[in-house]
Amino acid sequence: MIHKDHPRYESLKLREKIVDAYNRGILAESGMIAHGRGEAFDYLIGEKSTSNAKKAVQAAAAALILAKNPVISVNGNTAALVPNEIVILSDDLNAKIEINLFHRTMRRVSTIEKVLNDAGAKNILGTDHEAKTLIPGLEGPRASSSREGVYIADVVLVPLEDGDRAEALVKLDKLLITIDLNPLSRTAKTATITIVDNIVRAIPNLIEAVHELNNVEYSTLHQIVNDFNNQENLNESLKKISEKHTGRVKP
Ligand code: PTJ
């Protein structure tokens, strides 16, 4: 039992969710390590959505609304932390959901499929009973992608993605949106739009931004996407971390 007054309440609750997801077979072992790395960066950014994370969310929402064929890629950590929110976002955008695992096993795919089904997802791609296409440049099970999903998508949201896959998807001309607390990761640098924030805040923010921008003119949405500079935004994230811990700015 964690008391609500505990200064690390939110963070400890997330740890509990992560351990529970591991015990249920949703999370890979290294998913716990990945979470720990994310937690360290979250501590550095102040465990709040920064203004540059919000700016990236606006650009991501605009790109997803403009997409002809948007796909949301789900791994173990995403299914563990935000299954319901992923389904809401996919419904709002009419985007497909595809399971893509770095540490792929049939058992984990079907466990995650059940989690998403229980959250209300209707048509889940990336399972083991459908046609797959291999992504060039990748080896092993992580190379597989659904022929109706990521493979033909124009815009892909891939939270907590590994660097090789991110690079391979960008080479296939996808507009790649990621959520990664580490602004220095290869994925963060490779993506077209990186939201440097915890997925538990970023996805609800994205849902809100999609609602806000849904009736905005396409020309304005294009402008928002074109005005977004990922490298500048990542530099801003790093600057914020540094300033926060040298005491120059308020959080
Ligand atoms: O479920 P699988 O088999 O697909 O495996 C998923 C993991 C995450 C284990 C796999 O993709 C992996 O090893 O990823 P990496 O290379 O460790 O990258 C994960 C990134 O996500 C790191 O940069 C972390 O800082 C970041 N991260 C971790 N937790 C969060 C996060 N970013 C946002 N929100 C989080 N909660």
pLDDT digits (tens, 9 = 90+) for 22-33: 999 999 999 999
User: Residue 45 to residues 49, 78, 82: CA-CA distances in angstroms?
Assistant: 8, 20, 20
**CA-142 nearest atom, ligand 1:** 4
30 Cβ closer than 6 Å to some ligand 1 atom: yes
Q: In degrees to the nearest 10, what's the CA dihedral of 102, 172, 69, 131?
A: -60
Distance 149 CA to ligand 1 centre (A): 21
pLDDT in tens, 112-158: 999 999 999 988 999 988 888 999 999 888 888 999 999 999 999 99
pLDDT in tens, 56-109: 999 999 999 999 999 999 999 999 999 999 999 999 999 999 999 999 999 999
pLDDT-based confidence at residue 251 (cuts at 50, 70, 90) = low
User: Residue 124 to residues 3, 57, 72, 108, 177: CA-CA distances in angstroms?
Assistant: 37, 24, 10, 14, 20
pLDDT in tens, 231-244: 999 999 999 998 88
**CA-199 nearest atom, ligand 1:** 34
- pLDDT of res. 250: 57
Q: Whose CA is nearest to atom 25 of ligand 1?
A: 38
Distance 164 CA to ligand 1 centre (A): 13
pTM given for the model: 0.96
- pLDDT of res. 42: 96
Distance 107 CA to ligand 1 centre (A): 20
Distance 77 CA to ligand 1 centre (A): 7
Q: Which of 77, 142, 199 to mutate to test the pocket of ligand 1 (most atoms within 8 A of CB)?
A: 77
